[in-house]
Structure formats: C-alpha cells, structure tokens
Structure 1
C-alpha cells in the first residue's frame, strides 16, 4: 500500500513537473512583440518621401517617460533616430518619438561605450570618422522592454531596458586598458541641444540638464516650437576615477538649425572640441562627459539614469524610487511583466502566428504615447513654466491629434479609458496654465506646434464624454473646445479657403458636430442647434457640376479644376487628394451618399476607390492606407448597406498592410494610429465617427477576441467576439447572435460593449448579402 502511494506521488510529481515545463515554454503575450516592425525610415522602400513605419526598436514600458533606444543617424526626416538599414550606431539615447516625420525631436542623453582614442563627434553614417560604431546585425535583438546589440568596432555587447522614468544600460567589455563610456549631452534628433550642464557628484554619480529650444531645430526643425529641459541623475557601477568633459567652442551668433549643424564647418567644430580631463563641473553650448577605466574580459559596466522634466532632484528621486541597485535583469523582468499586463487587455485566439505578432506588436505601439510627463511624486512642468502637482490624474504629453483621434484614442477608450481621462485632464490643465484657453492639434512637452489641421482634441473629448469618461473639468473642456473652434474652424462663411480648403472644411465640419454632441449632453440647446448646422458645412465645397468636392479661394470662388481632377494630390487637401479626403463626412454619411446620387452610386465609387489601389497598399492616389485621411473609409460600406464589402476590404488591408517584418507598416506609425487601426479591425469592430456610439462590425482576423473592460468605466468585465468557422478564406459573416439571441445589424452600440456582451459571428467563404443591411 505504502509502495503504491509512493508511486502515485512520484507520478503526480512527474506530471506536475512536465506541465510546469510545458507552461514555461508557452509564449507569453510579450513574446509576440517584435519592436523591429516598422523600424525603418527608408523612403525608397516606401515609394514616397514619408518613409515607412518610423518606429524605434529600443526598450520602453507602457506609456513611460523613457525610451532607451539605439540612434543610427541624426538628420533629415528621421524622426525615431533609427533606421534598420543603417550600418552604424552612434549611441543609445533615453528619449525617442515613435512613428513621426517632420524631422523629429528628443534623442537626449546619448550614451556610447567605446575603447581607444576619445572622439567627440559621432561622424557620418557608414564611416569610421567618429565615435559611432559598426554593429553585427545578426546580434541585434529587440523585445518588449529589452534591446541588445554587439558593437563590432570595439567588441562591446550593449543591452538596454527601462522603467517608467529611468533607463539602465549594461555594457559587456573586452579586456582593455582604455575602455570608456561617453555621453553626448548635446545630441538631439533633428537638431541639437543649445545648452547643457554636467556635474560629478561623487565617484559613481553625475547629474545635470540638457536644454532644447527651437533655435536648435528639433521638432519641425524649430517650427514645432519645442522648448524643454531634460534633467538627469546617472550612476555607474564602476568608479569615476578618470573622467572629464569635452566642450565644443560654438561661435557667438552661430545658427543651429538642422542644416547648420549638419554642415562640414559645424561638424569640424564638434570633432575638434576641447577635451578637459578631470573637469568635475561644466556649463556649455555643446558638452559631453566621459569616464575611462580598465576592463577585464567580459566585464559588465552598468549605467542607470533617471530623468525628469522638472528638476535634478526629480530625476534623482525617480531613479532612487525605480532602480535601487544595479540589477539589470531584475529591471528587464519588471519591464516585461508590465508589458504582459498591458497587452492582456485584449486576448486573442486563432489566426496565424504572424497574425499574433502583428496584433500584439500593434498593441505595443499603441501604448508608447501619450507618455507620462510627471515624476514619481506627481510633479510636472506646467504650461506657465512653473511646477505643478497632478493629484487626481497622471499628466501626459505627446498628442498627435490629427492622426490619433481616428483610431488610437477610440481604442484607448476601450482598453485604457483612464489614460484618455488623463489626456483630457492634461490638455485642459495645459490650456489653463499657459493662458491660451484653447487646444492645440499637436502637443509636444507643453509646446503647441500647430502641426497639421483640424481641432482633434474636440473629437477625443466628445467621444470620451459620451462613453462616461468624465473625470476632468467638463465645463472648461467645453469652453476650450468652443474657443478652439472659433480660432481654427470654418468661420462665418462656412468653409475654409486656400490650399487646405477641402480638408479644412470637411474636418472642421466634423469637429463642429462633436461640439454639438457635447452641447446636447450638457443641456446647451442653442449651442447644440448652432453646431449641428455648422456640421453641414461640408456641402459648401461640393461642386455639383464636378460631382465632387472642390476647393474655394479667398473670394469664395471655385479654384481651377486640374487636369487630374479629384486625383490631384494637394488640390485643396492635406497629404491627400480630393478623392481620398472627400469621404471624410463621418457625421453625416447619408448626406454624403445623397450628394453622390444615392447609396448604390456611392458603393460603386467606393468600390472603384479600393479596386484601383495597388496590392501592396503603399502610397497611392486611391485607397492610401499609408496615411490617415482614409482610415475610416473601409467601414463606410456598412453605413451604405453593403457590409460584406467592409468585411472583405478590412481583411484584405489587415493582410496586405501589416506584416511581421521591418517593412511591416505601409506608412508612418504616427504615434499609435496605424497600429490602432489594425487592433480594432483585426478584433472585428471600429468607429467611423468618434463621438457617435455606433461601432461597425467587420470580419475579425481571430476566432476569439476578449476585451477586458475597466470596471471604473464599464458595467461589464469582458466584451467577447467569437467568429465560428473563421479562416483566411471564410471572411464573410453569415449570421450573428448577441448574448445568444439572433442579431441582424452590422453595428453595435457602445453600451452593449460596455455591458460585457458576447457577439458571435458565423463566418463563411461567400457574402451573405441579406445579413446586416
């Protein structure tokens, strides 16, 4: 008997060991993140000057202040500071932007491990004339919260990971009597820092700050008005016995925009900077810090750094709170755990392995921004340049409005509603602190860049308020929305003139509609009626003779019709042509269809729009998924009575525009928008018109999608979409049930989602044209 029990115990033990080992081998959600997806600015591959995804491959945590990433080149339209095809790395910076063009910014506190003679200039990409190094492409690894590479010039393995406010770097050196870590404090993507300060605090610590202004280029090469100071507090696990600074003598009056600092003359000044051994404190216009030391073979030297936009004390507190020791692996595991938790907001089953990589990397990219802008104690720099404390929300920054109001923010209302609440609070407090009392369309570290067109904050607020996300000063949010409209809208004439006539008129009409929805909710009946009328302004640029939208000049007359007609890029439009922009009437699709001659004619024209697009969906004159103006268009078939075409085309776009490779995004990531579109479409739902609680149902890529809801904002716990018989061939909905009851609509109300409903779709290979109409 005893023998049998022992055998049973052994068998159970073996079974548990087997299942534990099996579980350990199973992929976690973070394992499906490939940060190299989209990590290219290559214009040639993209087929247009906008380039490809422009993501960065470095380490970050969800919505963190820090992004520790390799930089391969500074200059041109190279916003993330990195492009996969480059052959050299100039260093590893603590801050980056994701998926943007317009020269970019950040890239601050650039760290480079080296050996041999100290060089003070990065030099040119693909050359040995600076401190940059060639690297072994096969050694380059990136995952959620981690990056590593072998720098071959010096045989130094470099590893990066992050916390919300800190970065930690681990460098494995060869045996060398002249090893070094050097920090370029002037480095800035798209320009240069204009002033820096550094001080050696003790034999393991340095602190200081990096000041960036429009005079040094950066965002929009200065046109983005970026004005910020990064404070740092950094500690080494190796003593600073031999250290110093270098200081370039920037002449008085020297201009310092991107074209200036890229010049041979300026680069020569940097390359011949004065090297000042033993200097423990320095203020200057172009500084670097270095520390020399001996290393044994495979010796690991670790640098951990906290940053703040408030003060050195804030940076120090951030570091001491988040990284108490030099345990790189522990920080990496914490970062990975944060990503697993964040990615679990949506759990998918089915689909291919590539589909899962595409999906979870897309989710990952939607959770870079809007990043935290406050320290661990809640302090943040206000729009009045004074310190403030966020006591009931997290202060956030980087709002790429024209892009993200379309899909990124609607996605976050589902999976991170608290984040949207934070963003609106952040915008309201900024507009209050800086005294403007209006919302900018593109905000970066408190700067109002004015980039693109429209009043996208109004859309975000209207959508959030309608969904019960209301933890901010609603009266101010409404007041500032009205002010924003008065500043930038269609005005008394009811249309926008000049080069943006079509794009401006259509987009401002939608934002007028958003104000009308807010006004209704707040009981402002007169305002609601006023803005409902203004929302019809899109009709004011409709030319019935051309049967399409046409721009007007300052006198209100039609601008000359071009030979290419509505395919003419930039004809009254922004980053689009009239054919692409003209579909943007989300607030009144029936009205648009009426102008087109009815639903059948609208469907025929829309079908032509998709069928003439190239198979790879790169930049083109028809359905141009590479840019935002058309992102809502595939879902218009639902509104026009042909939902099977929405199902068809969204599945095609998911297949053709998203891939698990470097060139995996057909256009700029644009701070989460490109990826958010995929997350929603692949899940099977999307909004055409944020602010309207109608969600379009389309063909899910996966057989099961579980969206975990936030109990603070939703009644239900999980919204589930099931797709029976789903496959790459079975893309069409045959029938549906909602909570077990037959469901015949191709849309859902947000209330059903928030209640925790279960939507079940039965899929098949051919359209069922009687369902969903």
Structure 2
C-alpha cells in the first residue's frame, strides 16, 4: 500500500508541475525511478536508483538530497526514506555496485552541533532531519523540501560546474550550515582539507581512494579528488571544524564505515572552534549564526576535479552573485534547449512526462569532466587541456552501447565524438593499450563484461561521426578484443561462458567494421570470422546456447534448463542472453531452427513476462541484454509483432511515478530505450546503420539534427490515425514516396525529411517486408 501511495503522490506532483507553461522542461518529473527499494522491485537489483536533485544537461554538478550513505544505494537517495542526511554536489544516476560520489554534503541545522549523520532507523542520533514529504518538490534544475526537525526550508539549483542552496530559517540564536567533507556514497573520502580564506568563503579538497570504498566498495578502483570553493551570504563569525580521530589501522571500506564502532568515533569527533585551516581523515566544517523568522541564508560552491583555482574560477564564471532565482532560470533554459532536440505531438500527459523525463535521464551522463577553461585531470594524474573535444566521464559501457549512445548519435552526435575522444585519450594518459568498459572519473573499473567501447567507436565511425584519431582508436579496439576475447578456443569458458562468448563475438564483429573502414582486409576477415564464435556455444541437442568448460565439455544442464539464472550468464539466464547475436541474426535464426520456430519462441518469451514487466525469467526489460529483442521480429518478416511489443513495453514498463522504472536506470540506458522506441526507431546492431522502425507512441515527432554531421536540419516522423488501439503500421511514405521497409538507414535520418506512417487497429501482414 505504501508504494501505491508513493506512485500516486508522484503522479499528483508531476501534474502540479505541468500546470505551468508546457515547455519540454515542464514535463520533467525527476522523481521517476527515484527508489532503491528491493522490496518494491522484488529483487536485490532494486528499482530505478535515480536522484531527484538539481542539475544541468551533462553537468559536472548535481545538487541533490541524500538519504543514505551505505548499501546498494548508488544514487544516495530513496523516496521511501523518511529523513535526509544532507544535500551533496555530486551524484551517480541509476547504478548499483554500492555507488560513489555523493561528495560535499551540505546540511542546514540548529541547536547542538552533531558530527555524525545518524541512520535511517535512528535519525535523531545525528545531523540528518526528518522531512515533510508533501513539501518535497523536484523539477528540471530545481529541488526543494521542508526539514521538520528544525523547521528549515531547503532549496537548490545548479549550473554546470557549481550549485547554490537557499535555506529559509526560523527565528533562532543557533542556526547553522554544516558541511560533511568526509561523506561519500558507498564509503568515505580518506583525507580532507579545509581553509577559511576570508569572512565569507572556504575552500579545500576531499581525496577519495579505493581504501575508502566507493565504486564497487573499492573494487572499482575509483580514485579522485574533489576540490571546492564555497561562499556564504552570511559572514563567517562563529565557525569551526570537527575532526574524528580515525586510527591508522582501521579499515575504511563501506561495511567498516557503517559499523557502530566507526560511527561512534565520528559522533565523538573533536570540535575545534575558529580554526582557519585543517587537514584530517574525517573532517567537517560549520558556521553558526543568529537568524530572524523566515531569514534566507545562501551558500554557493564551485567544484573541480583538478584544482582549488579551478573550483573558484568555475564558481565565479557561473554564479557571480546571490540571485538564486536567476541561476534557476538559467538551468531551466539549458534544459529546455537540450530537451527541445526532440518535439512530440500527441500522446497522453503521462506519456509526455515519461518521454521528456526519459530524455532528461539520458542527459546526465557522460558528464563534463573539464573546468570552464577546458582543463581536466588526466588519467596520468596531470593537468591537460582538451583540444577539439569536451572531456567527459562516466561511461557505463555494457549498458549504454545498446540504446543510450545510439540515441546520442542522432540527437547529440558531438557528444558521441567527445566520448570516443575521452576514452582514447584516457588510454594514452594511463599508458593502457586497451579501452575501458566501465569508466568512472578516469578509473579503469573493469565492471561488467564485453568490449562496449569498441561498439560505440564502430557505431560512430560507420555513421560518419569521425572527429577522432581513427588509427589510434582502431589500435586500441584491436588490443581490447585481443586482451578480452574468445581467444584460440573460439569461446570463453567458465561461470559466465555464455554471456562472455556472445558479447565478445559481437565486438569482434565491430572491430571488423573498423578494419574495413581502414582498408585492412586481413583484419576484416579475421574479426568477421571471430564474430561467428557464437556458434561454438550452441548445443544442437538442447537447441540453445550453453556454457562450456575449459576442456570443451558442456556445463551440466540444469533442471530448469535455459531459465536457470546465472547459468553461464551475467545477471540473466540463457533464454534472455541467448538472443544476443545482433551481428548475424540470419545465422542465429538458422541455428535455432528457422524463422517460424524462432517467432514461436519469441512469442512465448514475451507472453510469459509479467504484466508489470518487473524482474522475471522471460522478457526481462529490467535488465539490458534483452533490449534489442522486440526488434528481432523486424528481421523475421513479422514487423507487426515488433510494433505490438514495443508499444506494450512502453505502456507497461514506464510510468509517471517513483516506481516508474522497472529496473536500474543504468546511466541513461533504460530511458534511452524508451525515447527511441517512443519515437519509432531503434537499432538491433550498433555498428550497422540500419535502424528498425516500430510503432511510435506519438502522432508527430520532430528531431533537430546537427548539420555538422549530416545535411539535414529536421527529421519528422508522422503517425496518422495513431492511438492506443491503432498501434499497427499499415503503410508508409518516406519524403512523399511509398516506403515498404521496416527499417531506415541512419544516413536517411540525418539527411532530414519526413517518414509518414499510416496506423491502424489490425496488424498489416504486407507492410515492411521489402529488403
């Protein structure tokens, strides 16, 4: 019942937000997916894991409420929690693996100073506060809430490299703003420094290392320093630091920091008044002041990952005064500009809210990782200046190569170019001879599997996005597939044999496409052949893919067969992962027994998925390996079934509410699938320019094109007679001429033009069958 209430409240909130002018930003509901609850999800993977705080498109700063530090709560926030720990300046979106960032945690308080946050179960033990849920508001670039413990209203907005908070205090002789400098999602920063530079400003840094947990509880190798420069609207008169004595021998991973012993040490931290400068293992800063009733006190800060000077410059360039409302308006303007790349007509209010919130979620990462002057911290630990591209970070490769990066090739091709350059230059800076599959703040985390960077490079180049060093990108791609690949055996043995083998075969094919572009026929033939490795793990007796041992034997077949979770697969089962042969669908279909048998099997796959599309053993939209599967019907001469199921997934797996995402957002991937599917196009095989056509959710879609990467200015998709019942394409025209293909080439999209679809209530068994 509680979660039904959450869903209802969030829908009401979204409706209130949309009462304003219907700009794209006004449809955004940042509460969609903002829950980590495993209970509501029915699985340990949880739900969307998004955050509701203020940010700008692809900005470095996200000023957001944090309700929890530990556990598998990567965003630091979950809607069902009843207290807030503070408001941090950095967040990750939609990820598991314990998360990271959540740095520079600011909290307005009053009364006796408390130096530990307290816990979700016992908020009274620390500086966290219970809050009034009905007061919580979030929109693109803005967040507000009423903290009830001390009757303080908190508001926040952001610029790309900085943020500003506005606190409205009651009358009080001991009001306060305190900043926990040690705080970090999934652990702690291991060393901090703070300095009072004048009567209105402080600056310093927070060093985060794997010893302090963070990404993968340290296994993600995240190592970074956040530099800050912060200013206060009220002068610093009664201020100080708190410093907890953390013994040298203490382990500082996530579970250690969460322990009663560690938390007691923080709660008993030494409070040092009027200190001008301090370095330590667990520091916080506070400033106290008297406030009148409804007095507003503001704090603004710039951050940088390279230097204090960078943080100071970022703030001065972006927020030079104390006009909170003006910063908010600029943030909204940035969001309207970014979201207006796609304009939709038709659909319900909920569908528009889901659509523009999905676009919003695809525009958080890969975020800017350079200061306003173009300087960034390189993988070699040195300062660099970007040249011809914007340095970006957070590449959730295994997820985003499927939909997120293909979406950006259409609406933000320059961003894709940035990401390729960022990955290639990072390999050079770190003196690595391969591309990272899951990059976070320059770290080679090694998270998940495959060689997804090879996929996005091949996809970019094939689509004419080529503002990078192709020779170096190809060299790194080859080194990647050689270092991580199916090797001499032609398959990868072990516990994840099936997932590894299929993913590696696909990215070998991607490497072949790059070889072809370079005229390297020898490599083209080599990697094309290696792209056929999927055949080496297909068991004809079982009629499906099956993991193999190192000696070539099949792994024992389980009683539940291909429905067995983790049987040779990553976070899935063989039924789900086995469809991943995007580079050779005809070959896969032939192995599986032909088109009619495969269609029947796909029908079973979809029909047995639960109505709510939550985590399950069949079509599991909550996890990415199946995201291309609805589009396989187009390849099987049954495009009406692609239309049927993509419309069903859009309706059943995406909603305007806290529980509106059935699985982790995964840094834009879950939302990108919706954006592409809702406008009516999606790839099966990134690296191939073929884009599958499906039934659009909206009557009209207008996509603004970047004519630096194509000749067109606008590509329009019209769906005549479209409705919730009329979901099937009856006929089509491309630029006024009859069109009977169920796919369109990328070059025809970026050339501009109009694709007109005539919709109807019954499947057409004749449209879309031309090759």
**TM-score bracket, shorter-length normalisation:** over 0.9
| Match for residue 509 of structure 2 among 504, 513, 520 | 513
Contact 1:88 1:126 in 2 (8 A): no
Counterpart of 1:35 in structure 2 is: 30
| Match for residue 525 of structure 1 among 517, 521, 525 | 521
Q: Distance in 2 between matches of 1:132 and 1:360?
A: 32
Counterpart of 2:531 in structure 1 is: 535
Q: Distance in 2 between matches of 1:657 and 1:499?
A: 30
Q: Which runs of 5+ in 1 are unaligned?
A: 1-22
Residue 437 of structure 1, CA deviation: 2.0
Q: List per-residue Cα deviations over 1:260-305 (Å, max 9, x = no partner).
A: 0111000000000000011110000000000000001111111000
| Match for residue 82 of structure 1 among 72, 77, 84 | 77
Residue 24 of structure 1, CA deviation: 11
Counterpart of 2:693 in structure 1 is: 697
1:487 aligns with 2:483: yes
Counterpart of 1:661 in structure 2 is: 657
Q: Distance in 1 between matches of 2:23 and 2:164?
A: 23
1:108 aligns with 2:108: no
Residue 554 of structure 1, CA deviation: 1.2
1:643 aligns with 2:606: no
Counterpart of 2:53 in structure 1 is: 58
Q: List per-residue Cα deviations over 1:291-331 (Å, max 9, x = no partner).
A: 00000111111100000000000000101111101111000
Contact 1:58 1:142 in 2 (8 A): yes
Of the structure 1 ranges 424-433 and 25-34, higher mean CA displacement relative to structure 2 is found in: 25-34
| Match for residue 446 of structure 1 among 428, 442, 446 | 442
Contact 1:33 1:357 in 2 (8 A): yes
Counterpart of 1:15 in structure 2 is: none
| Match for residue 748 of structure 2 among 749, 752, 761 | 752
Q: List per-residue Cα deviations over 1:663-692 (Å, max 9, x = no partner).
A: 000000000000000000000000000011
| Match for residue 241 of structure 2 among 245, 248, 252 | 245
1:289 aligns with 2:280: no
1:178 aligns with 2:180: no
Q: Distance in 1 between matches of 2:362 and 2:121?
A: 32
| Match for residue 580 of structure 2 among 584, 590, 594 | 584
| Match for residue 93 of structure 1 among 88, 96, 103 | 88
Q: Distance in 2 between matches of 1:529 and 1:204?
A: 65
Q: Distance in 2 between matches of 1:445 and 1:600?
A: 47
1:676 aligns with 2:672: yes
Q: Distance in 2 between matches of 1:166 and 1:630?
A: 38
Residue 392 of structure 1, CA deviation: 1.1
Q: List per-residue Cα deviations over 1:605-632 (Å, max 9, x = no partner).
A: 0110000111111000000000000000
1:563 aligns with 2:559: yes
Counterpart of 2:133 in structure 1 is: 137
Q: Distance in 2 between matches of 1:126 and 1:709?
A: 50
Equivalent positions of 1:298-447 (< 5 A) are 298-447=294-443
Contact 1:126 1:134 in 2 (8 A): no
Q: Distance in 1 between matches of 2:689 and 2:422?
A: 24
Q: Distance in 1 between matches of 2:767 and 2:232?
A: 64
Contact 2:726 2:759 in 1 (8 A): yes
Q: Distance in 1 between matches of 2:751 and 2:426?
A: 34
Q: Distance in 2 between matches of 1:136 and 1:126?
A: 17
Q: Distance in 2 between matches of 1:79 and 1:347?
A: 32
Q: Distance in 1 between matches of 2:135 and 2:767?
A: 52
Q: Distance in 2 between matches of 1:660 and 1:640?
A: 33
SS of structure 2 residue aligned to 1:499: coil
Residue 757 of structure 1, CA deviation: 2.0
Counterpart of 1:605 in structure 2 is: 601
Distance 1:61 1:569, change over 3 A: same
Q: Distance in 2 between matches of 1:51 and 1:712?
A: 41
Q: Distance in 1 between matches of 2:168 and 2:439?
A: 39
SS of structure 2 residue aligned to 1:196: strand
Counterpart of 2:149 in structure 1 is: 153
Contact 1:87 1:126 in 2 (8 A): no
1:549 aligns with 2:545: yes
Q: Distance in 2 between matches of 1:771 and 1:750?
A: 20
Counterpart of 1:626 in structure 2 is: 622
Residue 25 of structure 1, CA deviation: 5.5
Residue 597 of structure 1, CA deviation: 1.0
Q: Distance in 1 between matches of 2:175 and 2:132?
A: 20
Q: Distance in 1 between matches of 2:19 and 2:515?
A: 53
| Match for residue 716 of structure 1 among 688, 712, 717 | 712
What's the RMSD between the two structures over aligned residues? 0.8
Contact 2:512 2:528 in 1 (8 A): yes
Counterpart of 2:471 in structure 1 is: 475
SS of structure 2 residue aligned to 1:681: helix
| Match for residue 187 of structure 2 among 180, 191, 206 | 191
SS of structure 2 residue aligned to 1:503: helix
The runs of 4+ residues in structure 1 deviating greater than 6 Å are none
Contact 1:516 1:528 in 2 (8 A): yes
Q: Which runs of 5+ in 2 are unaligned?
A: 1-17
Counterpart of 2:10 in structure 1 is: none
Contact 1:458 1:515 in 2 (8 A): yes
SS of structure 1 residue aligned to 2:567: coil
Aligned residues: 751
Contact 2:20 2:26 in 1 (8 A): no
Q: Distance in 1 between matches of 2:231 and 2:240?
A: 15
Q: Distance in 2 between matches of 1:431 and 1:498?
A: 28
SS of structure 1 residue aligned to 2:496: helix
Q: Distance in 1 between matches of 2:424 and 2:486?
A: 23
